[in-house]
Chain A
Amino acid sequence: MKIQTKEDFKRVFDQLYNPLCNFSATILNDEAGAEDVVQEVFVKLWNKREELDVSGDFKSYVFQAVKNKSLEVLRKKKSDLRHLESAIQVAYVDRDTPIQRELDNYLLKEKLYNSLRQLPPKCREIFEMSKLEGLTYGEIADVMKISPKTVETQMSRAFKILRNFLQ
């Protein structure tokens, strides 16, 4: 299958843009730089749409393209002493993780991130403190000035909503 219309292309973009930016940002440690990389890759994809098959390993291909471009940008930065500091910060990036794993990992993150939108505001806040920040129910109760029982109720509510959404 090939990308034929701009609508086809938009669908691919909608699905992959955010995970790709997050992926590139962890390599570059630079959000604006990551957006530049991903947008450039998308423009190139469009120009090459006739040669590309969207089925099969297409998503891995796009992830690989973004990874290559990000590393290229990083190399340029590293060769430049002024950026030494940020280069050191990203030095731990594991370059050898298979791209399929990165793809799965970032699509999972995107899905989980989107699931948070299903939660009512207060419920979301409590859930994020607990699961993302790692606070205990007692700590959350203190911060929010509510009873631990309410925290538990909200977490229970969050679980129901999220489970339903993720299924």
Chain B
Amino acid sequence: MPTVGVKRDLLFKALGKTYTDEEFDELCFEYGLELDEITSEKEIISREQGDSKASGASDVILYKIDVPANRYDLLCLEGLVRGLQVFKNKLEAPRYRRVSPLSGEPQKLIITEETVAVRPHAVAAVLRNITFTQERYDSFIELQEKLHQNICRKRSLVAIGTHDLDTVSGPFTYTAKPPAEISFKPLNQTKEYTATQLMSLYKTDSHLRHYLHIIEDKPLYPVIYDSNGIVLSMPPIINGDHSKITLKTKNVFVECTATDLTKAKIVLDMMVTMFSEYCSQPFTVEEAEVVYPDGKTCKYPELAYRKEKLSSDFVNRKVGINESTETIARLLTKMCLRSEVTGVGDEIEVEIPPTRSDVIHACDIMEDAAMAYGFNNIPYTTPRTYTVANQFPLNKLTELLRQDLAAAGFTEALNFALCSTEDISDKLGKKISETRAVHIANPKTVEFQVARTTLLPGLLKTLAANRKMPLPLKLFEISDVVLKDDTKDVGARNSRRFCAVYYNKSPGFEVIHGLLDRTMQLLEVKSQRGDGYHIQAAEDSTFFPGRCAEIFVGGKSVGRLGVLHPDVITRFELTMPCSAVEMDIEPFLGHPAEATLTHDVPLHEVIKHHFPSQVPNSRPTSTKTVFGDVSSAAGLKALDDFLADKSYMEGFEATQADTTMFDAIPSAPSSTFSHLLRWYNHVKSFLRERANLPSAKTQFVLEEDDDDDDDMDLFGSDDEEDSAEVEKLKEQRLAEYAAKKSKKPALIAKSSILLDVKPWDDETDMAKMEECVRSVKMEGLLWGQSKMVPVGYGIKKLQIGCVVEDEKVGTDLLEEAITAFEEYVQSVDVAAFNKI
């Protein structure tokens, strides 16, 4: 995390308010910053170099503030103040503008093709009529340094050069030349050097020597000349002294050379947005033209404002709050993300300024809304995620064994997984080539050369460090070692081992052997050849000859035990005899009933997911249902009637039928549809576990009948506030839609319905009743077969099928018409409803 040092009084002056240290710390916390240290230059020098050196230093109070690594816009006083002032609603975020020069052509930076092999990109801009003060100047230099250390990755990705434009004259040429041919007076030096000389001069420079490696081995070094052959800079090492910025500088030429163009643009934007504040036209930046080797030109700085649209519902849902669209827009604006409510549903249009290169996805915007809302104002909620816990079987076995090994009188040690090559080879009397060890490429000390292949050296070192403890010392460890294994994707795997040592005046082989027997007892392995365990004499250079045995379980070797070789004992700086056992415990895992998780991943995807290139809007498009269009009052009325005596769309429990219908309804229904509203609120409570609900038997929601991916919302909300323009757009779309539809053969949605018609009593004339039912005639209704089904007590009901056109005939209409024959019909129920 980068740390920015700012003078406290200067900061408070710019913020227009004096804070106590605690208040400012609190403000930082809220804004995602950390007031790391309150100090002064004097204090820093006296701490680092002693009091004597500090005597003349300034004791102005400095705040050291930790800034998140992706917030390059907060790396200087100017940016911090701007961010905090906007956050506190004391300032509106400025608009940064790129302008053409008042007269004449823009400054040109011509890139030649020699740069391709060393540092191919360059961008530039001009800060016109800037006024520096000592503080501004210091901050300007400091920001370059901070950017160099962070986003520029120590100048390897981007290097910044700033020049007094009035000392040089364009067009500028960015080229690359052999080092011997580059000669200039570098910054703060008194004479000219060639690039070759410079590289050796800076070998001893505490600051610059860290950057030499970037170009050192290249045949050509990058260099920027003005039209008179004056060297502006030799990126990424040093600028020329000629174009040095001073307090008197009025016009600044900023260039960034890079190996990563995206980052170069960001860095240039940062430099100019932060300091254009001090130009005579604040927040304007004069463009510069970059000419590429192929003749193409590009104007910089980009200062691009990007617009993103998102819904307040998205923010509310992700954060777990319930704020109005206007409030969320206001919160975002506080974070320098100027936001406006578009009026289309709960949509917000967010403008991302060039200073916020960290915002790359809607989730970044959502986070800013949450920060502005205040993380600590968000109510805690408990997810209802239902899961059954499982232990990783190997860890479970380890935990159980550890307990019982401690109960057997051994003390647990915990050693590093990394060690020296010597520890696992020479000291144990083994060759490193035999160990299958994984080697580390960049260890800082010998202690991290390899991953251990055995637990034994760690335990022996623990013994050595605790030689003063009373004897005997009995230690054990159950932990992972690492072995090369070609069958794994990474070419290595862990292996879980158990190791124990006994250290005393006598070797105590019987103690270690007894521990092995006890361990086998705990693992339910009998002492017998064949499927049990046994030990048999073995040769091993780690052990005293004739005092080593191999452990076999089910005929397979799992480890060894024995008395350690005196040489091994001595090499680990021990003085007493020692016996040890080490074995693999994975063969004792058994076969758990539940599927075991592994970290192996399938290499080929069986399930083919649909990977959209853009996140679609959250709302499904279809509002058409078997009850009609639920975005219309008529559709809602039909649904309300349907739900009058039902808790769910189907059966006695919530199903997918409920959630899909829920999705189809554009917004919460008004209280006039009381049954619907009751159902709506009830189903809403299930949305979290919607995926776990049983699937629907009936399709209530109809698919949009145009089959392309056009996701326009034809029947969108009937917002009263719709402006004339929106209305016009809607009409236009409707016209388009109609035109599109007319080109397609009309598809008529039909359903097959089975009705149960019940008579009053056993005396009702069933034939007459059927006749009455069949007499119902409607457009789009076709009666089908029927039969009499006994109900009980001699009563029969009429079961009659029909096919209806969904658009024209609704079940409610049908029922109404049939129950009109009051004489015969007691009730009508829909027994089955299937879409054809």
Whether both chains belong to one complex is answered with no
